[in-house]
Structure 1
Amino acid sequence: MFGTAVRQLGYAWSMISGRRFRLKDVSALVDDMRATMEQFGSPGEGADDLLAATDPEIQEDLTRRRLKQTVRHAATETPYYRHLLKDDGIIPPTRKEALRGMPSAFVSDLAKPALLAYTTGTTGAPTMVWFSAYELELMSAMAALSLMMSGGLRTDHIWANAVSSRSIAQVIAERGVTRTGAAFVNLGIVDPAVALDRLATPLHVPGRRPQITHLNLNASYLGALVQEAERGGWSPRDFCLEEVWSGGEVLTDALRGRAEEMFGAPVHDGYSMTEIAPVSGEVCADGHLHMPADQGMVEVLDPVTMEPAEAGAIGVLVVTPWSAFRDTTLLLRYVTGDLVRVLSEPPECARAAIPATSRILGRMVGDQGLTTRDILDALQAERDLPLPSRYALDGGVLYVVADKKDRALAVRLEERLSTGVVLVEGPEELPAPCHVRADLIEHSFERPR
């Protein structure tokens, strides 16, 4: 008990001071938490305090100190910021194009790079981000703590990942899940029919549930699984899922509802990016995206002026990961490109103490003021349209992939989106490609039963 208390104090000191964590202490905390969970079934009172400080005044003071330290590291250790901040010290937002064009310029002179992660490149060329062994171990341990305390992951559970193997999320999930004692399955993005077979097939392994209990995937691939399951006559009785986690793309209420109907498990909506890891967020029951300030500073800026967005306005998420967590690729005020709406009033939900915005809106599409979420909300409310949703806006007209041309359906979409709608029968008929992560299919010789 004394050793655990000392490790908790060391962890708390690193969180408060912004200094590097002692990995052996964080790793031991994971082992302590796992032992506690196995013996008592819950983390115990006050355990959540390990993950986040929620007092606004304390958090504001911590943010100032952490930002000062992070800026100092970036300005003295990286070629990009050393050149950028040498004159007046003003920190302009860092555009994705800068990181994509010269990734090595953001790597600290003191770094010991161990792993190069690529983004999927859905919206263009992939972005490269280096991570050290320290970062990987720390983020994995913190993921394990979060999964046990907040996610309810237990040693008899089986977690399946169905995301791109290039993502840092794949590495962190595998290490974090196995640290909790649960089993990890690298499901991959395979043919949806094959994935359903794997989810439904009993595994017959000692100490584990009969089937996969947790599934982590992108929203478009979730749509592909739902579509295949509905067409194939699957039902919740075929699966043993307890939780489904979706991230990386806009998740609509309509898709979440259909997925919960099909798999018989709650679907959680989260947000993360390779570039800003470990900064992440989760959507609460009231529909707010909460992003704790413990791993980084989160700003919402006007997409044009790059000034703070006003209450009720749409802004872009701009993130600075703290240097206590990131010692290799250092980023200051990184413009994610993901839009949110600033809340008009402070939230009153169960997580009100954690900073919040609206859910991710995606990107602006065309000149009509429509966001990705606006379009997907309209499309996925129509069950006759195939999943994942595919569309393209051209000249003020929205082209939508449909199984058949249905004028009544097109009229409903036009009324909801206030734009012209043309239904086409295949993606090849769209005026521009519609890239979704469900397209990152990993080919194999396996065939569905």
Structure 2
Amino acid sequence: MFGTAVRQLGYAWSMMSGRRFRIRDVRALVDDTRATMEAFGSPGEGSDDMLAATDPEIQEDLTKRRMRRTIKHAMAEVPYYRRLRDPDDIPPTPKLALRGMPSAFVSDLARPAVLAHTTGTTGSPTLVWFSAYEIELMSSISALGLMLAGGLRSDHLWANAISSRSIAQILVERAVPMTGAGFVHLGMVDPRATLDRLATPLHVPGKQPLITHLNLTASYLGALVQEAERGGWSPRDFGLAEVYSGGEVLTDALRVRAEQALGAKVFDGYSMTEVAPVAGRVCDDGHLHLPPDQGLVEVLDPVTMEPAGPDALGVLVITPYSTFRDTTLLLRYVTGDMVRTLPEPPTCAMAAIPATSRLLGRSVDGEVTTRDVLDLLQAEPALPLPTRFAIEDGILHVVSGKDDPALLGRLEERAGALAIRGIRLVETPDELPAPCQVRADLIEHSFEHAAPLPIGVR
């Protein structure tokens, strides 16, 4: 017990001071938390303090000190930021700068160990280096979060169905076993194969018979829902308790369909490779909460790059603190992800953590965002999933799979709030005026459900 208290104090000291963590202490804290939960069913009194936000005044002071330390490291060690002269006047870093010269953002003092890629759905993949320290630290903190906030237990089975190139795959694959739960690497295979695996008992000692937790992107979730509905699958076929969606816009319509098809609660979250470990989750009131402990989160006007006012459209600009990142260092990184500031402070259960609207995605036509379009289209169950669309000259082109005047009429009737000139249905993605790339397209080839080879071909 004394050792655990010392480790908790060391963890809190690093969080407060902004200095590096001792990895062995953080790992030991994970083991202590797991042992306590396995023995008593709960993490113990005061454990939530490791993840909870602090008093606003204290948090403001901590933010200033963490930011000063991060800026100091970046200006001294990172080629891209070495040209800056005023630590109080740091301009936003555009995504194109990191994408075009990733090595310019690597610290001179770094010991790069792992190169992660973004999926590149909005352009060329962005490359981000991570050190062993960063991987071990973020994995351990993820394990604490999965146990303390996510309720993951040692008899659970967690499955990942995301791109293997992302840092999320690396971190979760390391974090889940730390909790005692089993990790299953499903990958992004044919949705039929994934449903088969979710419904097939694994029969391993000490674990639930079926996969209990599933982590995936919203578009791949849509593909699973489509296949489950068409294939006659029932929630009784699965053992899922929770499904975690991230990386793309998740609409209420898709979430409800997924919960009905899979029989599990679907949670919405936010993360991206470049700004790890900064991540957020959506509360029951529909706010995206981004804890301030691991990075500075700003919402800026996408044109002026000034702070967005209340109830205004803005882009997320994020600085991961150097306490957690020592390799690719980023200051005020413009993510390109749009949100709307809240008109007034939230009063939800997570009100102590800063919040915005849910992720709106990208601007697809003026102030029309990805979420605006998906909210319209995914409310119509006749449209195929994952949803594909493009806007050109104010016309919304939608992949419908067939010519359906009744469907078009329903969409046009509900599209009044969108600033578009009209809607056109097309049968295939090839007919869209511009490519519509979603992460569900990153399907890995598998022999499961593959078409049989012609006779004589081997």
Q: How much does 1:89 deviate? A: 5.4
Q: Distance in 2 between matches of 1:428 and 1:87?
A: 50
Query: Among the aligned pairs, what percent are the same residue?
Result: 74
State the match for 1:117 in structure 2: 116
State the match for 1:443 in structure 2: 445
Q: How much does 1:411 deviate? A: 2.4
Q: Distance in 1 between matches of 2:88 and 2:178?
A: 42
Q: Distance in 2 between matches of 1:77 and 1:403?
A: 53
Q: Distance in 2 between matches of 1:393 and 1:153?
A: 42
Q: Distance in 2 between matches of 1:337 and 1:275?
A: 12
State the match for 1:69 in structure 2: 69
TM-score for the superposition, normalised by structure 2: 0.96
Among 387, 390, 393, the alignment partner of 1:389 is 387
Partner SS state of residue 11, structure 1: helix
State the match for 1:31 in structure 2: 31
Residue type at the aligned position of 2:423: V
Alpha carbons 1:197, 1:448 under 8 Å: kept: no
Residue type at the aligned position of 2:26: V
State the match for 1:404 in structure 2: 402
Partner SS state of residue 441, structure 1: coil
State the match for 1:131 in structure 2: 130
Count the aligned residue pairs: 447
Partner SS state of residue 115, structure 2: strand
Residue type at the aligned position of 2:438: V
Alpha carbons 2:300, 2:316 under 8 Å: kept: yes
State the match for 1:191 in structure 2: 190
Q: For structure 1, which runs of at least 5 residues remain unmatched after alignment?
A: none
State the match for 1:304 in structure 2: 303
| 2:252 counterpart of 1:253 | yes
Q: For structure 2, which runs of at least 5 residues remain unmatched after alignment?
A: 452-458
State the match for 1:421 in structure 2: 423
Alpha carbons 2:426, 2:432 under 8 Å: kept: yes
State the match for 2:143 in structure 1: 144
Q: Distance in 2 between matches of 1:45 and 1:150?
A: 14
Q: Distance in 1 between matches of 2:405 and 2:74?
A: 56
Partner SS state of residue 219, structure 2: helix
Q: How much does 1:263 deviate? A: 1.0
CA shift digits 1:212-244 (9 cap, x unpaired): 000000000000000000000000000000000
Alpha carbons 2:72, 2:87 under 8 Å: kept: no
State the match for 1:433 in structure 2: 435
State the match for 2:454 in structure 1: none
Q: What are the within-5 Å matches in structure 2 for residues 261-340 of structure 1?
A: 261-340=260-339
State the match for 1:86 in structure 2: 85
Partner SS state of residue 64, structure 2: helix
Q: Distance in 2 between matches of 1:154 and 1:448?
A: 35
Q: How much does 1:283 deviate? A: 0.1
State the match for 1:11 in structure 2: 11
Partner SS state of residue 190, structure 1: coil
State the match for 2:455 in structure 1: none
Q: Distance in 2 between matches of 1:67 and 1:403?
A: 50
State the match for 1:378 in structure 2: 376
Q: Distance in 1 between matches of 2:136 and 2:351?
A: 30
State the match for 1:100 in structure 2: 99
Alpha carbons 2:159, 2:184 under 8 Å: kept: yes
TM-score for the superposition, normalised by structure 1: 0.98
Change (3 A) 1:87 1:45: closer
Alpha carbons 1:411, 1:421 under 8 Å: kept: no
CA RMSD of aligned residues (A): 1.1
Following superposition, which runs of at least 4 residues in structure 1 exceed 2 angstroms of deviation? Answer: 86-89, 414-419
Residue type at the aligned position of 2:68: K
Residue type at the aligned position of 1:191: D
